[in-house]
Amino acid sequence: MSWFECPQADTSTREAGAEPVELVIEPRTRDLGGFEVRRALPSGRRRMVGPFIFFDQMGPSVLRAGSGLDVRPHPHIGLATVTYLFHGEILHRDSLGTVQAIRPGEVNWMTAGSGIVHSERTPPELRPAGPELFGIQAWIALPRHAEETAPAFSHHAVSALPLIEDGGLKVRIIAGELRGERSPVQTFTSTMYVDAELAAGAALRLDATREERALYLAEGEVEIAGRPHAAGRMLVLTPGERLTVTARTPARLLVLGGEPLEGSRHIWWNFVSSRQDRIEQAKEDWRAGRFPPVPGDDESIPLP
């Protein structure tokens, strides 16, 4: 059964059973060198939702004229990064030689596996006017059998991602399957990631599943089981509970989750692994310069 039903009208406000929202996470604000992000995962109250182990909201911001986002080359292991923008543009470069701009509605999916290095910067041509930026970067922890897979990068245009429109709903499938439509993004485990835009009064129904699920409210205000929820929060959903999300105002939310991974994961800086000794090895490899360089970007972020 699909996670979603998209009715033209849904007057129900409460599903039978337990409280549908198990946990509300208030993201922490982090300064990344003059640019703030709101970090929902990992949290002291919840480290992961399905395979999602890291979830940052970037912006919405208008950067100072002449400046831009400058995340210098840095390493990753044991995860896949997923960049998804609502506004703005980022130029991605990595140690595979990839040079790829990402724009709103597109997906940059980078599998770190055994090790990759990348940078994320505002393109030079956008800096003079003061670029805007609003989007999400998430990390997907890899299952044990894929933690040391070869690094890879894939880009998916807006036109390649399935779009479902139903009344006041517009739902784009970033990863996974919905109502018979499947995203071309290849994942290593059962993963769901969906961008849903709701007109005021529109309702999005989420079916009960055994998978871990959460909503991240990027814009607007919604109501679930008679309770309002404002933008900038992650709502972890109770397993097995059906619920209806009704938009009080025009709203945008991300639905994320999937099957939990086998066992726990260690996370330190940009490294994720099921083994602490692998994290220690990655630290020493970066300190010693054993990760591959990023062609065309010779800066780097030192080990903390």
Percent of the chain topping pLDDT 90: 85
Global pTM reads 0.92
* Per-residue pLDDT tens over the stretch 156-213: 999 999 999 998 999 999 999 887 889 999 999 999 999 999 999 999 998 876 689 9
Would you say residue 33 has pLDDT above 90?
Answer: no
Name the residue among 220, 200, 208, 209 with its Cα closest to residue 259: 209
Q: Is 175 within 8 Å of 185 (Cβ atoms)?
A: yes
pLDDT category of residue 251 using cuts at 50, 70 and 90: very high
What are the residues facing 206 on neighbouring strands?
A: 4, 243
* Per-residue pLDDT tens over the stretch 212-247: 999 999 999 999 999 999 999 999 999 998 899 999
Task: Look at residue 18 in the predicted model and tell me its pLDDT.
Answer: 75
Average pLDDT over residues 69-79: 97
